[in-house]
Amino acid sequence: MWAVAPPAHERRPLVTSPRVRPHLPARPLWRCRVCAASWLCSPARLALRYEYAEDPVALAIYLNLQLFDAAADLHRLNPHGGPDPKTLFERFLAWTHRHSPPSRSGEARIRSACMVSVAAGIVCAVTTPQERDEFERMRLVEQIEKDRQIIASYEENMMFYRIRIEENRYALGRLDERLGA
């Protein structure tokens, strides 16, 4: 299923907001910068499907360019054992043709669009229940990690205040010594 993309001038970059990193490739390995999976990872595909929902030709052109660059990089890294053209084609392009194009009917479009909001408020098209589950799982894991970060930050700050108490006690001790003397 395809989601309805907003007009071009309202589009945001790939699955990204100020607080969410885009799932982009790290070259020359062509692994996702965020999840380290082989690019295109699932979130990247979801983002691209959303981004180019109204323009699959542009998506194909974009992915062709990426495929060209990836083939060059991966061949340079591993001239004898790099991925063959068929594998690269499957990885970069074939997946875009496995889904039907977007419906042009307004109601059908709304019915068929399976939208899931991402943690930062971005809306992303999800194609299968499994992808939706994976997406939800990623969001929850990220939330748990954020909570852990906050707790760690509280603990660090608590330690800082404890050290400061010791500094004040040291100053107090010097004053008490003088008073005692």
Partner 1 sequence: MSGWEPDVSMSADEHIRAMREALVAEHESRIAEVQRWADEASDDWHRRWHLDHVARLRAMRYPWQADREAEAAA
Question: What SS3 state is found at 113?
Answer: coil
Closest CA to 132 of 143, 117, 111, 112: 117
Which of 78, 105, 128, 149 is in the footprint of partner 1 by CB under 8 A?
149
* Residue 170 interacting with partner 1 (CB under 8 A): yes
Return the CA Rg of the chain.
25
* Residue 169 interacting with partner 1 (CB under 8 A): no
Which of 36, 65, 72, 94 is in the footprint of partner 1 by CB under 8 A?
36
Shortest separation between residue 174's beta carbon and partner 1, angstroms: 6
Beta-carbon-side half-sphere exposure of residue 124 (alpha carbons within 13 Å): 29
- Tally of CB atoms within 10 A around 181: 5
* Residue 163 interacting with partner 1 (CB under 8 A): yes
162: which 2 tokens? 């404890």
Residues within the interface to partner 1 (CB under 8 A)? 19, 21, 34-37, 134, 137-138, 141-142, 145-146, 149-150, 153-154, 156-157, 159-160, 163-164, 167-168, 170-171, 174-175, 178
